[in-house]
Amino acid sequence: MMTSSKFIGFIGTYTKGESKGVYSFTLDTNEAKITNIKVAAQVENPTYLTISKDNHFLYSVAKEGETGGVAAFSINDDGQLTAINSQFLTGSSPCHVSVDSKNRYVFSANYHKGEVVSHLINHENGSVQPAASVIKHEGRGPDSRQEKPHTHYAGLTPDEKYLTVVDLGLDALITYAINNDGSLEKVKLLPLKAGSGPRHLTFHPNGKFAYLMTEFSSEVIVLNYHSENGHFSEIQYISTLPSDFSENNQGSAIHISSDGRFIYAGNRGHNSITLFSVNQESGELSFIEHTSTEGDWPRDFVLDPSEKFIVASNQESGNLVLFSRDAGTGKLTLIKSDIAVPYPVCVKFLHVLS
């Protein structure tokens, strides 16, 4: 599937315009270029993807008629995907999907329905079983776009003891315990700054800190993670935007380098990736620089397995952008910006297996 210099990646898209579904590509790190972009699987609105730790399976959110849910695929050596099965529920499709490291559970967050859903996985063939738990949030926030719950992220803590769910509509981070049968039990709700619109979360490699990107206020919230009980506490709020920027912006993705030294946060509107350095003692962030994404509405981006590059996806301008990354400073340098992919949303690479 991969060599030491070539990595296979996948792109989730909105299937409008010319988009057909999930795309695959190859990043050649020796030549610093992206090649071999092709349709890997035809599926409706596979906007977010996740890949099993063993690289055998890819799970995507998916839509089918008036239903939405999760689709399972096996990953072939050439980057093509073979459909295994799907599980759908009535109503809109989810916006986020994740899987645990042992391929036991798939979790999805549904923005439009304000739900978090868990599924058991058939370990033998990677198929997704019917929903084990469907939890519907209740409440609203002060912003007009927070008229009801909008779950935007559902991912495991580093120790995989808890599921963390970010609800943009409630301005809340909610922790759930996971039972063996896949059902979820609420542990704790952390209220966040009213009207901030929390969106996505990433953890420091030390497992002690978490970083939450807000969509409405365009901030990163630095959090302490208390692994003994699944609770979080706030440390810092820091803006991802220049102080003189007053136009519309919606925060998007957030990622951290594997050494825990740098945080990258996406801005849709300002159309940039913001770079922060991480204080390893306190977890707090310090601003370094903004880098243009050379397109419109950067929905997501990803560090490649070597972490020498970042690939960003501009949803509205339909282009991937390849940056080189300095491991010492964290800074990005543009390599190529006109890599055409229709309505790209999420980018994921296969894992490097030890």
Is residue 311 domain-resident? Answer: yes
Mean pLDDT of 216-240: 98
The sign of the CA dihedral 180, 186, 187, 193 is positive
- For residue 181, being part of any structural domain is answered with yes
pLDDT at 353: 87
pLDDT > 70 in the chain, percent: 99
Tell me: do 167 and 246 sit in the same domain.
no
Say whether both 232 and 305 belong to one domain. Answer: no
One domain for residues 275 and 330: no
Based on the domain organization, do 78 and 15 belong to the same domain? yes
82 found inside a domain: yes
Q: Is the pTM of this model over 0.85?
A: yes
Q: For the chain, how many structural domains are there in total?
A: 2
**CA 213-215-219 angle, 5° bins:** 50
For residue 244, give its domain range: 207-292
Q: Mark whether 171 and 239 lie in a shared domain.
A: no
Does residue 232 sit within a domain?
yes
254 inside domain: yes
Same domain for 49 and 61, yes or no, is yes
Residue 1 in domain: no
- State mean pLDDT over 104-117: 98
pLDDT of residue 3: 66
Residue 144 and residue 183 share a domain: yes
- Are residues 183 and 76 both part of a single domain? yes
**282 domain-assigned:** yes
Question: What pLDDT band is residue 4 in, cutting at 50, 70 and 90?
Answer: confident
- The pLDDT, as a whole number, for residue 84 is 98
Both 245 and 194 in a single domain? Answer: no
Residues 222 and 202 reside in one and the same domain: no
pLDDT of residue 354: 72
The pLDDT assigned to 179 comes to 97
Within this chain, do residues 258 and 319 fall inside the same structural domain, yes or no?
no
Whole-number pLDDT of residue 264: 99
Of the pLDDT bands very low, low, confident and very high (cuts 50, 70, 90), residue 2 is: low
Q: Which of the listed residues 292, 313, 333 is the one where a domain comes to its end?
A: 292
Which CATH number characterizes residue 53's domain?
Answer: 2.130.10.10
Q: Is the pLDDT of residue 1 over 60?
A: no
Residue 354 falls within a domain, yes or no? no
Residues 283 and 324 placed together within one structural domain of the fold = no
Is 228's pLDDT higher than 60?
yes
Full 3-state SS string of the chain:
CCCCCEEEEEEEECCCCCCCEEEEEEEECCCCEEEEEEEEEECECCCCEEECCCCCEEEEEEEECCEEEEEEEEECCCCCEEEEEEEEEECCCCCEEEECCCCCEEEEEECCCCEEEEEEECCCCCCEEEEEEEEECCCCCCCCCCCCCCEEEEEECCCCCEEEEEECCCCEEEEEEECCCCCEEEEEEEECCCCCCEEEEEECCCCCEEEEEECCCCEEEEEEEECCCCEEEEEEEEECCCCCCCCCCEEEEEEECCCCCEEEEEEECCCEEEEEEECCCCCCEEEEEEEECCCCCEEEEEECCCCCEEEEEECCCCEEEEEEECCCCCCEEEEEEEEECCCEEEEEECCCCC
Reported as a single tens digit per residue, the pLDDT across 76-101 is 988 999 999 999 999 999 999 999 99
User: Rounded to whole angstroms, what are the CA distances from 278 to 220, 282, 301?
Assistant: 12, 8, 19
Residues 239-287 pLDDT 10s:
999 999 999 999 999 999 999 999 999 999 999 999 999 999 999 999 9
